[in-house]
Amino acid sequence: MNKELLLDLDGIVIRPRKKYFSETYSQDYDVPLEDIIPFFRDDYKRAAVGGIDIREVLPTYLAKWGWKGTVDGFLRYWFGNERDVDEKVLDIVRDLRQKGVKVHLASDNETHRAKYLMDEVGLRKQFDKVFFSCDLGCTKGEPQFFEKVINGLQVKPEEIEYWDDDRKNVEVAKSVGIKGKVYTTFEEFKT
């Protein structure tokens, strides 16, 4: 095990979702999925790299989607649907940290969900450093993301072991010298 472990958030620390939030909202509120997808395809992607604040663009979408509450209420509903922490993974994280391994998070997320997961769910205290696309200005699908992680950790790329459930992200990390592994099962990860 390397002295630096970098974990993807969604799909590893947060259990894999059974369905996308857009599908959940569509079913819960009887809104056609094709009315929801443009938000995630366009404005959410811009927010995920810090380009816009979703709180500013959501009111227009929420009006189309028939949401009767506030933007904050919508964000609580959304984020509450995607916060199922895998305690077995956190047990390993705690154990590794006690053994001197530094454990970090890497995630493509927008500012408000990142803050919610770190502060409300309490993940900030579980990790040494966190790297969010909204703060770095690029996603894990871009080599720059991992170059910024390497700079932030001030280590050599080969000293970082990175786990992600998305093979594409692992390949991008490997392209800059990080030891990348595809997360498929908890059993494989814990060994």
3-state secondary structure of 68: coil
Domain end, chosen from 39, 62, 80, is at 80
**Residue pair 145/6 in contact by the 8 Å Cβ criterion:** no
Q: How many domains does the chain have?
A: 2
Same domain, 133 and 180: yes
Same domain, 55 and 11: no
Q: Give the tens place of pLDDT for each residue, 55-78.
A: 999 999 999 999 999 999 999 999
Read off the pTM: 0.94
- What CATH number does residue 168 fall under? 3.40.50.1000
Same domain, 113 and 171: yes
- In the chain, the percentage of residues whose pLDDT exceeds 90 is 96
Same domain, 75 and 93: no
Q: Which two tokens stand for residue 9?
A: 């958030």
Q: Give the tens place of pLDDT for each residue, 120-138.
A: 999 999 999 999 999 999 9
Confidence of residue 3 (pLDDT cuts 50, 70, 90): confident
Residues 127 and 116: their CA atoms lie apart, in Å, by: 15
Q: Provide the residue range defining the domain that includes 65.
A: 21-80
Same domain, 96 and 186: yes
